[in-house]
Structure 1
Amino acid sequence: MTISARNQFKGTVESVQEGAVNALVHVKTAADDIITATVSLEAVKELGLAAGKEATAVVKATEVLVGIGDAKLSARNQLAGEVTKVQEGAVNAIVTIKTEGGTEIEATISLEAVKELGLAAGVKAKAIIKATAVIIAI
């Protein structure tokens, strides 16, 4: 299947933590970054998700927040790295962050946010993704 989501992180399921109705699925990317997804227990069973299974964590660029500095957040995925590119459009920009592990993540944010945060190539930043925004594909 081909999809439009910019962020598709191929990797291996590191662990599955089951709760009452949902599970946290941790996918280790080829660059050794961990992406955590919240999925239903039904999806865990249907996809056969278990440690060692190959999987892809999928995230739309519009679901990725960009942060600078330190802040305590509830979002499970906070991947530190460096901005490698800012592609400006009329209203929004696509910001590419390369994590310390080497994973490239793209975020679609407003031009106003780019300016307020001072984002440009070389700036240290975090890609922030809520676990509920991550889709697991096999």
Structure 2
Amino acid sequence: MLTSARNQFTGKVSAIQEGAVNDEVEITLAGGDRLVAVITRSSTKSLGLKVGGEALALVKAPWIILANPDAGVKLSTRNRLEGHVKGIKPGAVNAEVDITLKGGETLAAIVTLESVEGLGLATGKPVVAFFKASHVVVGVKA
């Protein structure tokens, strides 16, 4: 599957919290990091999601919020992943920041150059990535 989402992860469904309209689906990646997605109940059914089954999680890079781990940032986002800056690709206004997560996967974030400077981001530095559960698109292999 080819998509425009920079972040494409494969993992196992580790939990499904059913709701009347939306379900909360937890996906555990191979390295142990966990992502939470909120999708409609009908999507859970039509995708055939079950605990232990394989699922894909897609997250667009501009939806990622970065912070320093020691900043004590608390957000209402369900997803909080820690890692280290793998590399920074600067552009005219924004930069792509690649992050190696604790479990070994790579997460890409698009942030402003001002944010890169303000956070003091550099290769090897620790960083925390936040994103909303509603920004995770879930899929399965057909």
**TM-score relative to the length of structure 1:** 0.97
Runs of 4+ in 1 over 4 A off after TM superposition: none
Is the partner of 1:128 in helix, strand or coil? strand
Q: Does 1:67 align with 2:67?
A: yes
Matched, 1:99 2:97: no
- SS of structure 1 residue aligned to 2:12: strand
How much does 1:61 deviate? 0.5
Q: Which residue of 2 aligns with 1:81?
A: 83
2-structure distance, mates of 1:82, 1:2? 26
Shift of 1:123: 1.2
Task: Report % sequence identity.
Answer: 43
For residues 72 and 63 of structure 1, what CA distance do their matches in structure 2 show? 17
Query: Residue 58 of structure 1 aligns to which amino acid in structure 2?
Result: L
How do 1:7-18 residues align onto structure 2 when only pairs under 5 Å count? Answer: 7-18=7-18
1:118 paired to 2:120: yes
Structure 1 residue 2, shift from structure 2 partner: 1.1
CA distance in 1, matches of 2:17, 2:25: 7
Per-residue CA deviation, residues 17-43 of structure 1 (Å, 9 max, x unaligned), is 011210110011111110100000010
List alignment gaps of at least 5 residues for structure 1: none
**Count of equivalent residues:** 138
**Alpha-carbon distance between aligned partners in 1 of 2:43 and 2:100, rounded to the nearest angstrom:** 30
Gaps of 5+ in 2: none
Q: Secondary structure at the match of 2:49?
A: coil
The Cα of 1:119 is off from its aligned counterpart by 0.6
**Which amino acid in the other structure matches residue 7 of structure 2?**
N
RMSD across aligned positions (CA): 0.9
